[in-house]
Amino acid sequence: MRKLEETKRLKSSEDKQVSSEVFDDKTLKVLYKLAKQGYINTLNGVISTGKEANVFYGYDDDMMPVAVKIYRVVTLDFKKIKEYIAGDPRFKTHGNKTRQIINTWTNKEFKNLSRLYNLGLRVPEPYTSLENVLIMEYLDKSEDDHSAAPPLNKVKLKDPKIVFDEIINFIDKCYNEADLVHGDLSQYNILLSHNHPYVIDLSQATLRSNPSSRMLLERDIKNIIYDAKKYKLNLSYDDILNRVLNG
């Protein structure tokens, strides 16, 4: 993790060495490309490291803060496996395919975010995506605290009723205006920024026409009702589901 924190100024050559210890070659190339295009000027540190992706914060060429989500292409284990199978032509297409799937996944998140953002829903504004890297608006905590907005599971809401109303409103608009179901909605994928809930992590979001969208919608609603219980809010599953379906 120390190495990540030291990763700075993508454009200068001496830093290239540091970042190459952290990112795989292809990801590094993508990052340089994005730096050249002005989307990333500096990468300052890590917000979150997960199984699927790492999220960093930095600045673009206009010194506007950005969040940079980098989908993992190789896990350490996979890297090790690759060393063993390097040079075996049978595995070549497999490697490319994995990348292709991840790139498609990244692009899908970008498209879903764009759709929702353009409808005025509270999601980070997506700036661009290239291969396994997505660049979006950095959500901060508040006017006077510019640290990263915390997920709902890490905060104690002052006015939970209002926040959960806004979340239900999001589910409704997402379904009825954007034609989308999030599919992994819960307090872990909602950030509290300036006292409003912002929904993130949209790569798996699906169209209503997807046969599993109804099941995913029901699960999203159940998760939110569960999360609201911590504030002794008893939301009605039937009311919410009917409101969304009849929206």
Ligand X SMILES: Nc1ncnc2c1ncn2[C@@H]1O[C@H](COP(=O)(O)OP(=O)(O)OP(=O)(O)O)[C@@H](O)[C@H]1O
Beta bridge partners of 68: 56, 135
The alpha carbon torsion through 221, 226, 227, 230 (nearest 10 deg) reads 150
Residue 42 vs 183, nearer CB to Mg ion: 183
Q: How far is the CB of 137 from Mg ion (least distance, A)?
A: 16
Q: Find which of ligand X, Mg ion, none residue 149 binds, CB within 5 to 8 Å per kind.
A: ligand X
106 binds Mg ion (CB under 5 A): no
Q: What one-character-per-residue DSSP string does 40-66 give?
A: -SEEEEEEEE-SSEEEEEEE-TT--EE
Q: Does 149 bind ligand X (CB under 6 A)?
A: yes
Smallest distance, Mg ion to C-beta of residue 110, A: 16
Q: What x/- string results for residues 201 through 220 when contact with Mg ion is judged by CB under 5 A?
A: x-------------------
Say whether residue 138 binds ligand X (CB under 6 A): yes
Q: Is 220 helix (H, G, I), strand (E, B) or coil?
A: helix
Helices (H), the chain: 2-6, 13-20, 25-36, 76-85, 92-118, 160-176, 213-229, 237-245
Task: Report 43-82 residues binding ligand X (CB under 6 A).
Answer: 47-48, 50-53, 55, 67, 69
**Is 184 annotated as catalytic?**
yes
Active site residue 201: yes
Contact call for residue 189 and Mg ion (CB under 5 A): yes
Q: Which residues are known catalytic residues?
A: 184, 201
